[in-house]
Amino acid sequence: MTSFQEKVLRATTRVPRGRVATYADIARAIGRPRATRAVGQALRRNPHAPKVPCHRVVASDGRLCGFAGGLRKKARLLRGEGVEVQARKHADGTRTYADLFVDLRKYRFVFLEGEFNPSVKKRLARLQKDVQKGKNLSPTFRS
């Protein structure tokens, strides 16, 4: 497994039950904002399902797509976690599984910016240590 695939799987594990992320969200979270298709390919090869919940990843418009178990199963898994999955109707009133979607305004998980960037992680770790030591972080509040 490549380091890129490991980063994708690690980011996907951060998406909690009852929330979804997009392929683009995960690509941005790992510092590769143009790699949305590669994120999909990495999740396609997920050897750790369901521990790595790839069913919680959807398209940028909220559509369900790209699940090895099929879209029906993906919808069932999301509904089981409390995510409302809706179906768009065609002009003739019919629905298909390809038209299933999630309201991203309601269920989207937002990653912390730079959460998977090593230099940001180091700065955050130093900041946490300083806070634990009781260091005053703001120069305007020094006595």
Catalogue the active-site residues.
54
Distance (Å, rounded) from C-alpha 79 to C-alpha 55? 11
DSSP single-letter state for residue 33: T
Side-chain-side CA neighbours of 101 within 13 Å: the count stands at 14
Closest CA to 112 of 41, 15, 4: 15
